[in-house]
Amino acid sequence: MTTPLVTAMVSTYASERYLAGCLDDLLAQTLGERLEIVVVDASSPQREGEIVRAYQQRHGNIRYLRTETRECTSAAFNRATALARGRHLTTANTDDRHHPEFCARMAAVLEQRPVGLVYADSGIATVDNETWHDTTATRRFRWPDYTPAAALSCCLFGAQPMWRRDLHERAGAWSTDLKIANDHDMFLRLARVGGAVRIDEVLGLFLQRPDSNAGSGRRDAVLAEACSVFRAHRRQWSLDEIVPGATGHGPFAEAAAWFELGNLCALGPYTDAEAALDCYRAALALPLAGGEAAQVREAFANNSACILAAAGAGAAATRAFGLAAPSPRRTHNLALAAASPPVPLRAFRFVELEHEVVRRARTACGVTVDSAGRVHDTVSEQRRPWDVFDGPNGLPWRRTPESAGVAG
């Protein structure tokens, strides 16, 4: 067999109805035999083994392992990672599908750029086993371009990134303690040690179904575990990792960075009000003087009051707003603080501290891959990390012959 460039890791349990389509989809990749497919069967009660063995008779780039007992997807992916021979890895959920150039274009970025993880946009499928060519999907997830703060704000990598296999030496193994948000935890750890970049193109299909591991039928459990992952990573990453240069440009730059992280925690979409208050307190404790100290005190009074008001502590919030100078923002926030029932956090007007380190940290760009496999930067843009994700339920997607992977 040709030495593989990419290994696609497939974890299967009770996924018989999707597995043949998954294998057909991967075998149709233009990367050909430079794509290795590793299927880990977590002791499924269905016919996955029979299906894979039939494919193995015709295709030498498929490997199969069945475990003795049922295992979680993290355990399966740890096994697949250990077996993989490809320089780059990707997870291939049995019910998702790919553009024929998915592997080639993703790998081109990893081969040409000093980045550890690459991801692309996803079409949203709603019909089982549609292929890339015949999908009826009309909406897509347009993930944000990568910045560390954006990564700590929303699940911006989607379900189909690709990364360098050797990053696991620093990022570690998949966490078997997490059952739902284990993939985003892993992708955050990989991006932390290797950086990440987005391809500005739809290169995969994500099947949206309520009975999946992270489907709408488990919404509360999904949200709870995702919040726990974000909470942990926001505390583990240093301030300089989230806002590069935060601690090297004086106390006010550090205060501005703490407020950037605090506002990210407060305004979500994965809200952690306790962490937000801790960030504001860290800024308030810095050795500031004069006008800079006054700015931070004003910001602290306003933003902490917003959090108190949204939590239903209207009287305490009103007292805190009283410490802020009169302004249209204070008038607006005071009116919301008096509302019953309490209004959402994002309805309040939060203070942001302006500084160049924050502006730089908000600046991001993606890449495109042309027909010759060359990688090009897109135009950079600045976006606040809590406002980067457009369309949580997807945006319109109008396919063209080029995006469909067909000539004409």
| Residue 219 confidence (pLDDT) above 60 | yes
Q: Are residue 37 and residue 128 in the same domain, yes or no? A: yes
Taking residues 132-148, what's their average pLDDT? 96
- Cβ 234 vs Cβ 261: under 8 Å: yes
Tell me the one-letter amino acid at 89.
L
Cβ atoms within 10 A of the Cβ of 177, count?
A: 11
Cα 64 from Cα 49, distance rounded (Å): 8
Q: Are residue 15 and residue 59 in the same domain, yes or no? A: yes
pLDDT-derived band at 2 (thresholds 50, 70, 90) equals confident
Q: Are residue 349 and residue 387 in the same domain, yes or no? A: no
Query: Among residues of the chain, what percentage have pLDDT more than 70?
Result: 96
Residue 203, φ and ψ in degrees, nearest 5: -120, 5
- Residue 25 backbone class (left: φ over 0; alpha: ψ -120 to 50; beta: rest): alpha
Cβ atoms within 10 A of the Cβ of 66, count?
A: 14
| Residue 217 confidence (pLDDT) above 80 | no
Under DSSP, the state recorded for 59 is -
Place of tokens 């209207």: 314
Whether 136 is in a domain gets the answer yes
What local confidence, expressed as pLDDT, does residue 214 receive?
Answer: 55
Whether 336 is in a domain gets the answer yes
CATH number of the domain bearing residue 39: 3.90.550.10
Name the average pLDDT for the chain.
94
Predicted TM-score of the model (pTM): 0.94
Q: Are residue 346 and residue 260 in the same domain, yes or no? A: yes
Whether 245 is in a domain gets the answer no
CA 393 to chain centre: 15
| Residue 406 confidence (pLDDT) above 50 | no
What local confidence, expressed as pLDDT, does residue 237 receive?
Answer: 98
Residue 339 CA: distances (Å) to CA of 321, 336, 343, 344: 15, 5, 7, 11
Q: Are residue 73 and residue 137 in the same domain, yes or no? A: yes
Tell me the one-letter amino acid at 91.
T
Whether 405 is in a domain gets the answer no
| Beta bridge partner(s), residue 263 | none
**Among 172, 141, 152, 220, CA closest to 361:** 152
- Cβ 113 vs Cβ 106: under 8 Å: no
| Residue 362 confidence (pLDDT) above 60 | yes
Taking residues 102-124, what's their average pLDDT? 98
What local confidence, expressed as pLDDT, does residue 403 receive?
Answer: 60
What total of structural domains would you count in the chain? 2
**Among 6, 387, 268, CA closest to 161:** 6
Cα 260 from Cα 265, distance rounded (Å): 9
Under DSSP, the state recorded for 173 is P
Cβ atoms within 10 A of the Cβ of 77, count?
A: 25
Whether 193 is in a domain gets the answer yes
Whether 33 is in a domain gets the answer yes
Lowest mean pLDDT among 105-119, 199-213, 333-347, 377-391: 199-213
Q: Are residue 217 and residue 314 in the same domain, yes or no? A: no
Query: Among residues of the chain, what percentage have pLDDT more than 90?
Result: 89
| Residue 94 confidence (pLDDT) above 90 | yes
- Cβ 321 vs Cβ 305: under 8 Å: yes
Q: Which domain holds residue 213?
A: 6-226+378-396
Reading the block at residue 158, the tokens are 């989607």
Q: Are residue 82 and residue 144 in the same domain, yes or no? A: yes
What local confidence, expressed as pLDDT, does residue 257 receive?
Answer: 98
Q: Are residue 52 and residue 190 in the same domain, yes or no? A: yes
Whether 271 is in a domain gets the answer yes
pLDDT-derived band at 212 (thresholds 50, 70, 90) equals low
Q: Are residue 254 and residue 345 in the same domain, yes or no? A: yes
Q: Are residue 123 and residue 184 in the same domain, yes or no? A: yes
What local confidence, expressed as pLDDT, does residue 407 receive?
Answer: 37
Taking residues 26-35, what's their average pLDDT? 97
CA 303 to chain centre: 26
**Among 401, 333, 366, CA closest to 157:** 366
Under DSSP, the state recorded for 68 is S
Q: Are residue 212 and residue 309 in the same domain, yes or no? A: no
Taking residues 176-197, what's their average pLDDT? 97
How many helices (DSSP H) and strands (DSSP E) are in the chain?
A: 15, 14
pLDDT-derived band at 239 (thresholds 50, 70, 90) equals very high
| Residue 216 confidence (pLDDT) above 90 | no
Tens digits of residue pLDDT in 305-328: 999 999 999 899 999 999 999 999
| Residue 255 confidence (pLDDT) above 60 | yes
Q: Are residue 144 and residue 221 in the same domain, yes or no? A: yes
What local confidence, expressed as pLDDT, does residue 405 receive?
Answer: 57
Q: How many Å from the N-terminal Cα to the C-terminal Cα in the chain? A: 34
